[in-house]
Structure 1
Amino acid sequence: MTFEAYHQYFESIIQKSPEQQTAPYNNPDYFDYTKLNWSRMNRWLKTGKITDAMTEAIKAIDSPQQWIIITEPWCGDAAHSVPFLEMISRLNPLLTVSYELRDSEPFRINNYLTNGGKSIPKLVIRDDKGKDLATWGPRPAACQEIYSRLTAEKADFEKVKTELQLWYNADKGLGVQEELTALLLNINRAAAPATLQPAE
């Protein structure tokens, strides 16, 4: 689906009454968290800033790419990263972006597990022939370190959620942009034709 279709799907969940919800949104905790994610996503779409380095790297792409973003409205990490991925992708008309839900067909996440888990969001970057060039996700490395530490400490879900939220608010999308900039530069370098050195 397009971002617009994903956005509409997200909004439709928020607008349903409790008795209209299907799993997992019929769980009040999931629904409340999804409402927060809706606010976060739209806030970043309005206030998020794309760095000069990110802009330069994305505009340097000179051949078509397909970006597949696997996500879900209930995902807190996605609420913070997906808006930046979408805004970045808009900077180059050679990029085609499609959105897929983790828990619906084609269940593509099964091919892109993180440490054996279906962690999202997940960005899959492909060339125009459908060959995978790179993947990113589910969260920036610095944020992942916090998550891994808290998981090892067996921290409760509320503590994990709060600490990650604080990190994302302070980071303002810089982490995902720095990592994606490096990823795209590597792709561009790999695609560049080898330069023959003059014979001595």
Structure 2
Amino acid sequence: MISIIQSALQNSLSYSAYRTLVSKLIDDGKSTGNEQSADLLHYSELNEVRMNRLEKTLKMDSEVLEKLQNLKSKQTWLVISEGWCGDAAQILPIIKLMAEASENIDLKIVLRDEHEDLINQFLTNGAKSIPKLLILDENANLINHWGPRPEGAKNLIIDYKAKHGIVDEPAKIALQKWYLDDKGISTMKEIVAMLQ
């Protein structure tokens, strides 16, 4: 797995390069990923707005900030994402804010569909669910991984699917409302708990 991770790191993007790539593709009427559709383009456009809002409104939890600032060893946080993914749009700005809080964290992003060998190492119930955060030490060894959703969001979808049999548009709306109400706190606390 180390060679798969190192290969992904060599082809990774910074957060700003990822945002620029997604924006340029939207301008060209496209989304990231192997599949192209009007729906994926629409989700990419929605996510662009969400990420812009989150970048302006997210606030760092004080306990999380303290733990991040006390991080002693260098780490790379490698996130597997796609521009059309609603969960990624809600979570990437949180991860970026956390990475910026510590001089010991280097944030990198790769596209899932361009790194199938990597996502296949981190399936969720057999699915290529994203985003996935891989926490790596300075030698690119895996320390831990997280994703695709914080526990509360995951449970919302599990409960909805149990009741309705599918994840449809009302489920997606409920999920986005959950993220809005949570303000990133669950994601921050779950990720920082893995750094102990």
TM-score higher than 0.5: yes
Deviation at 1:135, TM superposition (A): 0.7
The AA in structure 1 aligned to 2:95 is L
Deviation at 1:155, TM superposition (A): 3.5
Deviation at 1:2, TM superposition (A): 0.9
Measured in 1, the distance between the counterparts of 2:94 and 2:129 equals: 18
* Structure 2 gaps, min length 5: 1-12
2:178 matched to which residue of 1? 167
| Deviation readout 1:50-82 (Å, 9 max, x if unpaired) | 110110111111111111011000100011011
- Normalising by structure 2, report the TM-score: 0.87
1:73 and 2:83 equivalent? yes
Deviation at 1:156, TM superposition (A): 4.6
1:182 and 2:196 equivalent? no
Measured in 2, the distance between the counterparts of 1:57 and 1:83 equals: 18
1:7 and 2:38 equivalent? no
* Structure 1 gaps, min length 5: 187-200
The AA in structure 1 aligned to 2:158 is S
Measured in 2, the distance between the counterparts of 1:3 and 1:15 equals: 18
Deviation at 1:175, TM superposition (A): 1.0
1:158 and 2:162 equivalent? no
Measured in 2, the distance between the counterparts of 1:77 and 1:95 equals: 22
Deviation at 1:152, TM superposition (A): 2.2
Identity of aligned residues (%): 34
- Indicate the structure (1 or 2) with the bigger Cα radius of gyration: 1
The AA in structure 2 aligned to 1:131 is N
Measured in 2, the distance between the counterparts of 1:124 and 1:24 equals: 24
Moved over 2 A (4+): 20-25
2:106 to 93, 96, 113: 96
What is the Cα-based RMSD across aligned positions, in Å? Answer: 1.8
Measured in 2, the distance between the counterparts of 1:177 and 1:91 equals: 12
Deviation at 1:150, TM superposition (A): 1.6
1:131 matched to which residue of 2? 141
Deviation at 1:105, TM superposition (A): 3.1
Q: How many residues align?
A: 183
1:110 and 2:117 equivalent? no
Question: Residue 123 of structure 2: SS of its match in structure 1?
Answer: coil
Map 1:25-104; keep pairs closer than 5 Å. 25=36, 27-104=37-114
Measured in 2, the distance between the counterparts of 1:24 and 1:70 equals: 17
**Closer/same/farther in 2, CA of residues 21 and 110 from structure 1, 3 Å limit:** closer
